[in-house]
Structure 1
Amino acid sequence: MRRRSGAEHISAPAAALSERTLTVSTHPLQRPGHDPGHDRVIPLGERRTASGDEAAQRLRYPAVIVLCLTQLILVIDNSVVNVALPQIRHALGFSATGLSWVVTSYALVFGGLVLLSGKVGAIIGPRRTLLIGVSIFTVASALGGAATSPAMLIAARVLQGLGAALAAPGVLVLLMSITKPGPQRTRAMSVFVLSIGIGAGLGLVLGGLLTTSLGWEWVMFVNIPVGLVVLAGVRLLVPEAPRAPARLDVGGAVASTIGMTALVYGLINAESQGWASASVLVSFALAVAGLLALVLIERRHLAPVVPLEFFTRMRSAAPLLAMMLIPAGQAGFLYFAALFTQNALGFTPLQTGLSVLPFSAALLVTNLLTSRLVTRHGERIVGSLGMSALLAGLVWMSRIDATDTFASGLLGPFLLLGLGAGLTVAPLTAVIMNQAPPARLGAASSLNQAMQQLGGALGLAVMTTVYGAAAAGAGEAGAIATALTAGVVFPLLALTLFATWARSTTTTR
C-alpha cells in the first residue's frame, strides 16, 4: 500500500480546523509501522506562545536587572528617609512622637498588606500587580516630596507602603518565571539579594547626600525617575507569569492584615510606649486574635492566602522562620551602628552613610561568588556558612566600647557581616521559592517578604528595649553593646533551623 504524504495524513477533523491548528506526528513519517494515534493537534496560539518564550529568553538578563531595581527602591525607601528625619521634623513641625510615624506608617502598611497583595497577584497576574504597585509608589513619592504638613507626609508614606506591598511579591514570582532552575536561577537570586543587601547601606549614603545638598524633599523625589524606569523596563522586558484564577480569600486576607498590622505596630511601638502600655497590649491581643482566625479560615479555604502546608513540616517552615530571624539581627546592627557613629563618634549623616560602605562592598564581592559556591556545594552548606559569619560578626560588634574608633570597633564587624549577608540570603531565598509548589509561588513570595518585615520589626523592638533599659547605667556604648549581645540570639536560631532542616535544591558537583 502506498505510504501517505504528510499533507494526506491530516485527518478530516484537523483539516476542518486547518486555520486554527496544526497536526504533527510524534514519530518520523517515514518510520515503518507509523501509528496515527501518536499524532497531536497543536493550537497555533501555542506556537505563538513558544515564540514569545524564545523572545523572553533573549531578554532574560535585562529583565532580571529591572526586577531587582524594583526591589532595590523598596528596600532603600526606609533607610533613605531615616537619615532625613531631623530635617523633616524641623521643616514640617512634627512632634517627637509624631515623627516616628514617618517610618512606622510605611512598615505597618507594607507588612500588613503584603500577604493580601500576593494573592491578588496570583489572580490578576504578578506583572500587572507589580506595575500597579510601582505606579502607586511613584505617585506617593511625588506627594511626599511636596508635603507641607505632617498629615500629608504620613498619608504619602501610607500610600507608599500600599504600593510597595503590591509590588514586592511579584518581583520574586517573575524572577522564578523567567529563569531556569540551576545556575541561571542562582545567579538571578544573587542579584536579587544584592539589591536587598546594599539597599540599606546605599539608602543611608543617598539620604545623607540628598539631604545635605538638595533638601529632605529629595529623599522622596528620587523615587520618581527610578520608578518611571522600572515601569518602562517591566513593560518592555518582563513577560507575565501564569495566573492562578481562584476565588479571593477575603476572610483570610482580612485576618492576616489585621494580625500582621497589629503585631508590627505593637513591636515597633513597644520600646517608646512600653511593653505593658494599653495600646501595645491591645495590639498584641488583636494580633493573636487575627492570626488564630487566620488559621481557622485557611484550614477550610480551597485557595488560602497563607497556605498552612508551608508550616506543617519543618523542612518548609524552617527556611521561612530563618528568613524572619536573619533581618531581626541585621536591622539591629544597622540601627545601632548609626547610633554609635553619630552619638559616640560625632559623625554627620553623610559620614554615617559612608561608614556602611565596607558592609555593602563585602556583600557585593561575596554575591559575585555565591552562585558558583551554591552550584558546587548547595544552598544548605553555603547558607549555613553565611549565617555563621553573621553570628560571628554580631558577636564581634557586641564587644564595642566607648574607647573604640570606627576602625577598631566597626570596620571588622562590618566586613564580616557583609560577607555573611552575601552568603546567606540568596541560598535561603532559593530554598524557600524552589520548594514551593508552582501554584503557590505567589504565596511563597509574599510570605518571604512578610517574614522579612516581621523580622526587622521584631529584632529592632527587642534590641531597642534592651538598649533603653541599659542606657542609664552603662552609657551609650555600653547600652549598644548590651543590645547587640541580645541580638546574637537571632542569627544563632536561624543557623540552627536552617542547618538542621533545610535541603539544597541545586544539584551539586
Structure 2
Amino acid sequence: MDLAHRRTLAAVSAAQLLVVLDGTIVNIALPTAQQALGMTDANRQWAITAYALAFGGLLLIGGRISGALGHRRAFVIGLAGFAAASALGGAAGGPATLFAARALQGVFAALLAPAGLSLLATTFTQARERGRAFGVFAAVGAAGSAIGLVAGGLLTEYASWRWCLYINVPVALAAAAAMAGTAGPQPRAAGRIDVLGGLLSVAGFGALVYAFNEAEPLGWGAPKVVGLLAGGLVLLAVFVVVERRAPEPLLPMRVLLDRARAGAFVAITLMFVAMFGFYLFMSYYTQGTLGYTPVQAGLALIVNALAALAGSSLIAGRLHGRVPPVVPIVGGLLAAAAGLFVLTRLGHDSAGVLGAHLLPALVLTGLGLGCVLPPTAALATAGLRGHDVGAASAAYNAAQQLGAALGTALLNTVAAGHAAAVPGYVAAMGLALAILLAAALAGALLLWPGRAPSRPAPDPDGSALSR
C-alpha cells in the first residue's frame, strides 16, 4: 500500500469515525446541554432527531452529488461543512441554534459518508489491499459508537458538553489535510439529478426515521407513528416506481437487484437492528441495574470495540478474496447471535454477571459485527462504476441508518413492555437474537455459494470512474 493509499484510508476512516461517533456522543451530553440551554423535555429529542432525519433522508441525494462533483471533492466539502456545523453547535446559545447545527451536521454527513465509501471502493482495487482497507474502515465504524459513549462521558464530565461537538473540528481538519496529499484527476459522473426521485427519497426515508424515533415515547400504535410509517412506505414504493422509469435515476434498480448485493444489504440492515438494541441494553443494564457511571458503562463497550477491530482486521480483512463472502458474513451473524444468547440467560442476581454474561456477549457481538461489516461494504460497491458507486454507497449507509433507528425503537419498546427491568432486557435480547438468526438464514440463501457481483469491463476512456 503506497503513501497516497494510506492517506486516503486514514482520511476516510477518520470521516467514518466522525459520522458514526456523532450518532452517540451527543446522547451522553444531552442532559447537561438541556440544562445549560434551557431545553424542554418535549423538544430536547430534536438534538438527536434533527441529525438522524437529515442524515438518513439525504443519503441518496448525497451519493448522487458525490458522483457529480467527484468523490474526492465531495469528500472534502463534506468534511469542511461538518466541521463548521460542529463548531456552530458547540457555540450554540440556545436550543434553536443547536438543533439547526445538528441538522446541518446530518446534511454534510449525508454527503461525506457515501463519498468516503466510494473513494475506498474506487481506490483499492487489488484483492489484498481491498480486504485490508475495508477491514480498517469497518473496524473504525464498528468502534465508533462505543468510542462516542466513552468520549461523551469523559468530555461532559471533565470538560464541557460543548466539546462533544467541538471535538469534531480537529478530526475533520486532520482528515482533510490527509486527503490533500492524494490530489489527482477527479472524473465526474455526467447527468442531471433526479429531482422527483430525490424528493420522494427524502420524504420517505425521513418519515420512517421520524416514525422510529417517535415510536419510543408514543408507542407503535399511536396514530402519529402509524401515519408516518404508512406514509413513508407509500412514498418509498412510489420512489421505486419513479426510479424504474427515470432516464437518470437517483438509485438505479440494478444496484439493488444483484443477488449478492441484496444479501449484503439485508445482512447489514438486520445486523444494525440487533446491535443498536444491544448497545441500548448495555447502557440501561449497566447503569440502571449494575450502578455503573456513564463513563464506566462506555468503557465496558471498549471490549466490544476491540473485538470488532479484531474481527474486521484479523479475520474478515485477511479472508477477503480467499473465501466466499458468505463465510464471514454468516459466521459473523451467528457469532453475534451467540453473544445475544448469553444475555438471554440473565437472571435477577447480578453477582458475577460481568464475567459470566457481559464480557462473553461483548466479545462475541464485537467479533460478529467486525466480521460482517467489511465483506458487506465491499459487496455493496463491488463491480460498480460511475454514478452507481455513489448510489450503492449511499444505499449501504441508508440501510445502516434505518436499521439503527428501527432497532433502538423496536427493542426499547419490547424491554419497556415488562414490569421489571431484567425480564424486559432478556425479552429484547431474545428478539434481537431471532433477528440475527433470520439475517444469517437470509444471507446464506442470497449469498450461497458466495457469488459476488460481476465486475464490468472498464470504460474505454475511463470517464465513468469517479474518485
Structure 1 residues 441-450 or 460-469, which shifts more? 460-469
Question: Which residue in 2 is equivalent to 1:299?
Answer: 244
Note closer, same or farther for the CA distance 1:446–1:214 as it changes in structure 2 (3 Å cut): same
Query: Does 1:357 pair with 2:302?
Result: yes
Question: Which residue in 1 is equivalent to 2:148?
Answer: 203
Q: Which of 219, 222, 229 pairs up with 1:284?
A: 229
Amino acid at match of 1:345: L
Q: Which of 372, 382, 392 pairs up with 2:338?
A: 392
Hey, what's the Cα distance between the residues in 1 that align with 2:451 and 2:179?
Answer: 31
After superposition, the CA RMSD in angstroms is 1.8
| Residues 64 and 387 in structure 2, CA contact (< 8 A), matched pair in contact too | no
Question: Which residue in 1 is equivalent to 2:376?
Answer: 428
Aligned-residue sequence identity (percent) comes to 35
Question: Which residue in 2 is equivalent to 1:221?
Answer: 166
Hey, what's the Cα distance between the residues in 1 that align with 2:93 and 2:185?
Answer: 39
1:217 deviates by 0.8
Higher relative contact order (CA 8 A, sep 6+): 2
| Residues 344 and 402 in structure 1, CA contact (< 8 A), matched pair in contact too | no
| Residues 177 and 241 in structure 1, CA contact (< 8 A), matched pair in contact too | no
Q: Which runs of 5+ in 1 are unaligned?
A: 1-55
Between structure 1 and structure 2, the one with the greater Rg is 1
> How is 1:65-464 mapped onto 2 (pairs within 5 angstroms)?
65-237=10-182, 239=184, 241-369=186-314, 370-404=316-350, 405-437=353-385, 439-464=387-412
| Residues 339 and 362 in structure 2, CA contact (< 8 A), matched pair in contact too | yes
Hey, what's the Cα distance between the residues in 1 that align with 2:403 and 2:11?
Answer: 26
Question: Which residue in 1 is equivalent to 2:433?
Answer: 488
Q: What TM-score do you get using the length of structure 2 for normalisation?
A: 0.92
Note closer, same or farther for the CA distance 1:260–1:117 as it changes in structure 2 (3 Å cut): same
Number of corresponding residues: 449
1:137 deviates by 1.0
1:437 deviates by 5.0
Question: Which residue in 1 is equivalent to 2:416?
Answer: 468
| Residues 269 and 403 in structure 2, CA contact (< 8 A), matched pair in contact too | yes
Cα distance per residue 1:273-314 (max 9 Å; x no partner): 122323222312321231122112111112211111234353
| Residues 336 and 480 in structure 1, CA contact (< 8 A), matched pair in contact too | yes
Hey, what's the Cα distance between the residues in 1 that align with 2:359 and 2:186?
Answer: 43
Amino acid at match of 1:446: A
Hey, what's the Cα distance between the residues in 2 that align with 1:79 and 1:400?
Answer: 26
Structure 1 residues 61-70 or 275-284, which shifts more? 275-284
1:72 deviates by 0.7
Hey, what's the Cα distance between the residues in 2 that align with 1:202 and 1:261?
Answer: 26
Hey, what's the Cα distance between the residues in 1 that align with 2:402 and 2:70?
Answer: 25
Note closer, same or farther for the CA distance 1:238–1:64 as it changes in structure 2 (3 Å cut): farther
| Residues 276 and 404 in structure 2, CA contact (< 8 A), matched pair in contact too | yes
Q: Which runs of 5+ in 2 are unaligned?
A: 455-467
Cα distance per residue 1:37-68 (max 9 Å; x no partner): xxxxxxxxxxxxxxxxxxx9541112111111
SS in 2 for 1:382: helix
1:132 deviates by 1.6
| Residues 144 and 156 in structure 1, CA contact (< 8 A), matched pair in contact too | yes
Amino acid at match of 1:401: G
Note closer, same or farther for the CA distance 1:212–1:286 as it changes in structure 2 (3 Å cut): same
| Residues 7 and 179 in structure 2, CA contact (< 8 A), matched pair in contact too | no
Amino acid at match of 2:163: W
SS in 2 for 1:375: coil
1:241 deviates by 4.9
SS in 1 for 2:92: coil
Hey, what's the Cα distance between the residues in 1 that align with 2:7 and 2:317?
Answer: 18
Note closer, same or farther for the CA distance 1:133–1:439 as it changes in structure 2 (3 Å cut): closer
Hey, what's the Cα distance between the residues in 2 that align with 1:444 and 1:355?
Answer: 34
Note closer, same or farther for the CA distance 1:430–1:398 as it changes in structure 2 (3 Å cut): same
Cα distance per residue 1:244-279 (max 9 Å; x no partner): 111210110110110000011001211211223232
Question: Which residue in 1 is equivalent to 2:465?
Answer: none
1:240 deviates by 5.4
Amino acid at match of 2:207: A
Hey, what's the Cα distance between the residues in 1 that align with 2:110 and 2:344?
Answer: 33
Hey, what's the Cα distance between the residues in 2 that align with 1:505 and 1:314?
Answer: 8
1:316 deviates by 3.0
Q: What TM-score do you get using the length of structure 1 for normalisation?
A: 0.85
1:239 deviates by 4.1
Question: Which residue in 1 is equivalent to 2:463?
Answer: none
1:391 deviates by 1.1
SS in 1 for 2:356: helix
Amino acid at match of 1:468: A
Q: Which of 395, 419, 424 pairs up with 1:479?
A: 424
SS in 2 for 1:78: coil
